[in-house]
Amino acid sequence: MPTALLAPLFTDPAHVVATLQQQGHAVLSPEAVAQLSGCDLLQLHALQESWNDLPPDAHLKDGGRYRKRRHACFVAHGGSLQAVPHRAHWQPIEYNALHGGMERWFEPMLAAATAQPAWQQLLQALAGLFDAVTGMAQPWFIEAHQFSIDTEGGIGRPTPEGAHRDGVDFVAVFLIDRHQVKGGETRVFEADGPQGQRFTLTAPWSVLLLDDARVIHESTPIQPLAAEAGGHRDTLVLTYRRKAFQGG
């Protein structure tokens, strides 16, 4: 019998700013994400089609072939969102011991997805939310990562680098799809304390919001529910950083 999944404790949208300020993380339901972004869920679900066309991640240093992804960068400021020329993703070694210190060029996100009003509204809404958390309106340098982790090789690792921080100010991890897998539990720990939480995101467009300076996070490996059945777990990770993108 499958192990029961531990459900997240969703934050009321009215309390999300205070929750992030107090504990450094919050989880929103799909309905709360739609409310925050000013979209309906059908508009958000329409974005999911672009996860069907992700190329393999050619930079996995653990030798795995379980991850596909696309990447794009934007700057949000003053209620506007601007795409920037395609650039490499880079992290220092202290934040990513497995892939840090190397320029990783991923295939860009498709314009069919990033041009949709729901995409624009979602990224701008989060910028406004993080303005409220920090108490200051400012430019946000945003990196968007589309991930699909599959179990064709028997196991897939959403976070092969282990428990980590990303070297940014805020992180949003959206669950896009979860199909025929077990595992994939989300774990959040205080960076400078003993407290932690664990739960499994199962609802498409639910999201974990993180203050990257205050918490460490990871997702556990996934395996297929049945040996003969492949499975996958799709996510969208958005990182928000003040001043500049990592790597200049």
Tens-place pLDDT, residues 54-108: 999 988 878 789 999 999 999 999 999 999 999 998 877 775 555 655 788 999 9
Residue 228: pLDDT band with limits 50, 70, 90: low
Cβ(30)–Cβ(205) under 8 Å? yes
Mean pLDDT of the chain: 93
Using the Cα atoms of residue 225, residue 217, residue 147 and residue 11 in order, give the sign of their dihedral: positive
Question: CA 96, CA 84: separation in Å to the nearest integer?
Answer: 24
Question: Between the CA of residue 212 and those of 101, 123, 195, 246, what are the distances in Å?
Answer: 19, 17, 15, 14
Question: CA 176, CA 206: separation in Å to the nearest integer?
Answer: 8
- Provide the CA 182 distance to its chain's centre, in angstroms: 19
- Provide the CA 131 distance to its chain's centre, in angstroms: 19
Phi-psi category of residue 24: left, alpha or beta, with phi > 0 → left and psi -120 to 50 → alpha: left
Q: Determine the number of helices (DSSP H) and then strands (DSSP E) in the chain.
A: 5, 12
Residue 1: pLDDT band with limits 50, 70, 90: very low
pLDDT at 195: 87
pLDDT at 61: 75
Of 218, 212, 228, 246, the C-alpha closest to 101 is: 246
Of 142, 132, 124, 141, the C-alpha closest to 78 is: 124
pLDDT at 53: 94
Residues in CB range of 144: below 8 A, 6 or more apart: 71, 72, 73, 74, 109, 114, 123, 236, 237, 238
- pLDDT tens sequence across 210-223: 999 999 999 999 99
> Taking the model in full, what pTM does it have?
0.95
Mean pLDDT over 132-156 rounds to 96
Cβ(201)–Cβ(28) under 8 Å? no
Q: Token pair of 79, please?
A: 């209620």
DSSP at 105: -
